[in-house]
Amino acid sequence: MKALCWHGKGDVRCDTVPDPKIEDPTDVIIKVTSTCICGSDLHLYDFYLPAMKPGDILGHEPMGVVVEVGSAVTKLKKGDRIVVPFDIACGECWFCQKELYSCCDNTNPNAKVAEAMMGHSPAGLYGYSHLTGGYAGGQAQFLRVVRAEANVLKLPDGIPDEKAVFLSDIFPTGYMAAENAEIQPGDTVAVWGCGPVGQFCIQSAWMLGAGRVIAIDRVPERLRMAEKYGRAEVVNMDQVTVYDKLQELTKGRGPDRCIDAVGCEAHGTGYVDAVMDKGKAMVGLATDRAHALREAIMCCRKAGTVSIPGVYIGFPDKIPMGAAMNKGLTFKMGQTHTQRYTGKLLEKIMRNEIDPSFVITHQLKLEDGPGAYKIFRDKQDECIKVVLKP
Ligand code: NAD
Ligand code: ZN
């Protein structure tokens, strides 16, 4: 089959690789019908996560049709259309019982390495390095879906791929980020980053009762999308000082809830901390550029909440913990417990409360993947979300 494989920094190729096979009775194999490129993939593309091996198959936002079923699988059959959450849960451990699926204890075969780095190992993730299991990813013609019944969402007839595929990650991620922000009715919610995740944070903030949403980015078409589809007030970080603007918009109190949907590759032209981060990352002295997180902490109102869906990898420094502590902030973060939200958010889509396809700017063939990584990373051609059709 064809698959997008990682070969080094900035080097993704469409290779011919062996088809996946059933390896465990709880597996199914899908023929992938839609698969996306995520901001998280860019951290691998830019080599911020140093646990990749040449030839690894990328991708963690797939959906498709079941073509083969393991002998222990009874609830899925050939021909079913399913969405595959990016995090892999066993469905049985202490964490899965509590719906903390991305913290599953049993699905990362390389748990020892992750434990050494983080104290405990998170769940296995598709296509996301050997630190989280080395599972082959979904930017491919076929995917081996492990522990299928504990994880996947079976789709009803009629719903097009474009509306369903983001249930694999970014819609649940935006929703969990808004939930983690602890929004109270009428709150002002500020969202850093108007990439695909930020867009779903904005949508979800309204669903959870926000009174105002302010969105921050520097890319004009992303800000326009936040304005048009997200009804957000927008702040262009290249045109104003974000802290000053947010204080002005909130009469000096600061936003009640701040969501960092940027993560470890934040930009910050003209900000000293961002310039230092960039220099350190270039010479391999740092894995994370945390300008957006620092700014969210500084901007957040006293006793507010900072929710962090943006991915961090290692040891970001200069985090203003003094400000966070003395202002009494709450922090909530994490890889999304996707399975907790798929059914509930599918219902919202079926009731026409949201059509997630608004974020799609590019639908391309799998073979176009290497170029698509580049235009998505470099924000060329007004690219916001790429869906690949294997
Ligand atoms: P993306 O790269 O398309 O979007 C990031 C956006 O942030 C860009 O539009 C960029 O211009 C903007 N940005 C950069 N610096 C900024 C700053 N200082 N202030 C404001 N905006 C800034 O990525 P995405 O797909 O939207 O993902 C966003 C983040 O969410 C990534 O870190 C990704 O890894 C993470 N993510 C997390 C989960 C999870 O489970 N928690 C799931 C999916 C993605
Ligand atoms: Zn993703």
pLDDT score at 285 = 83
What whole-number distance in Å separates Cα of residue 351 and Cα of residue 371?
A: 36
Query: Rounded to the nearest 10 degrees, what angle do helices 291-299 and 272-282 cross at?
Result: 150
Measured between alpha carbons, how far is 193 from 186 in angstroms, rounded to an integer? 22
The closest ligand to the CA of 60 turns out to be 2
How far apart are alpha carbons 318 and 273 in whole angstroms? 8
Please determine, for residue 162, whether its predicted confidence score (pLDDT) is greater than 90: yes
**Residue 23 pLDDT exceeds 90:** yes
Quote the CA–CA distance of 292 and 266 in Å, as a whole number: 6
Ranking 222-231, 245-254, 284-293 by mean pLDDT, the lowest is: 284-293
- In which band, very low, low, confident or very high, does the pLDDT at 341 lie, cut at 50, 70 and 90? very high
pLDDT on residue 269: 78
How far is Cα 297 from Cα 353, in angstroms, rounded to an integer?
32
Q: Quick one: pLDDT at residue 50?
A: 81
Confidence band for 282, pLDDT divided at 50, 70 and 90? confident
The model's confidence at residue 271, banded by pLDDT at 50, 70 and 90, is: confident
pLDDT tens digits, 76-95: 999 999 999 999 999 999 99
**Burial class of residue 189, CB neighbours in 10 A (0-12, 13-18, 19+):** buried
Is 172 close to ligand 1, i.e. is its CB under 6 Å away? Answer: no
Ligand that comes closest to the CA of residue 294? 1
Query: How many other CB atoms are found less than 10 A from the CB of residue 213?
Result: 27
Task: Specify the CATH number of the domain 2-169+336-389.
Answer: 3.90.180.10
Nearest CA to ligand 1 atom 14: 266
C-alpha atoms less than 13 angstroms from C-alpha of 150 in its C-beta half-sphere: 23
Q: Identify which has the larger pLDDT, 277 or 95.
A: 95
Phi, psi of 265 (to 5 degrees): -120, 45
Q: Which CATH superfamily is domain 173-333 in?
A: NAD(P)-binding Rossmann-like Domain (3.40.50.720)
Distance in angstroms (rounded) separating the CA atoms of residues 7 and 55:
6
Please provide the DSSP assignment of 61-116 as one string: -EEEEEEEE-TT--S--TT-EEE--SEE--SSSHHHHTT-GGG-SSS-TTHHHHHH
Over pLDDT 70: what percentage of the chain? 100
Q: Across the beta sheet with 11-16, what order do the strands follow?
A: 11-16, 2-8, 56-57
Determine if ligand 1 sits within 6 Å of the CB of residue 133. no
**Banded model confidence at residue 12, pLDDT cuts 50, 70, 90:** very high
Confidence (pTM): 0.98
Task: Using the predicted structure, report yes or no on whether residue 328 has a pLDDT greater than 90.
Answer: yes
Q: What is the pLDDT of residue 287?
A: 81
- 306 neighbors 319 (Cβ within 8 angstroms): no
Span from the CA of 247 to the centroid of ligand 2 (angstroms): 32
| Predicted local confidence at residue 103, as pLDDT | 98
**Ligand 2 centroid to 61 CA: how many Å?**
6
Instruction: List pLDDT tens digits, range 107-150.
Output: 999 999 999 999 999 999 999 999 999 999 999 999 999 999 99
Q: If you take atom 29 of ligand 1, which residue's CA is the nearest one?
A: 310
pLDDT reported for residue 96:
98
Neighbours of 92 (CB within 10 A): 13
Summary mean pLDDT of the chain: 97
pLDDT at 48 over 90: no
Mean pLDDT of 182-205: 98
Ligand 1 and 245: CB distance under 6 A: no
Atom of ligand 1 nearest to the CA of 311: 32
Atom of ligand 1 nearest to the CA of 291: 18
In this prediction, residue 390 carries a pLDDT of 98
Residue type, 305: T
Tell me what the mean pLDDT of segment 274-301 comes to: 91
What residues sit around ligand 2, an ion, with C-beta below 5 angstroms?
Answer: 38, 40, 169
Confidence of residue 281 (pLDDT cuts 50, 70, 90): confident
Question: Given a cut of 90, is residue 334 above it in pLDDT?
Answer: yes
Comparing C-alpha atoms, which of 207, 215, 171 is closest to residue 189?
A: 215
Report whether pLDDT(332) > 90: yes
Domain definitions of the chain by residue range: 2-169+336-389, 173-333
Q: What is the pLDDT of residue 371?
A: 98
Q: Which of 37, 126, 199, 217 to mutate to test the pocket of ligand 1 (most atoms within 8 A of CB)?
A: 217
Please write the tens of the pLDDT for every residue from 303-318.
999 999 999 998 999 9
Write out the DSSP string of 260-320: E-S-TB---TT-HHHHHHHHHHHTTS-S-B-HHHHHHHHHSPTT-EEEE-S---S------
H-assigned helices in 310-368: 321-326, 342-350
Residue 284 has what pLDDT? 81
How high is the pLDDT of residue 230? 98
Question: Distance (Å, rounded) from C-alpha 320 to C-alpha 119?
Answer: 23
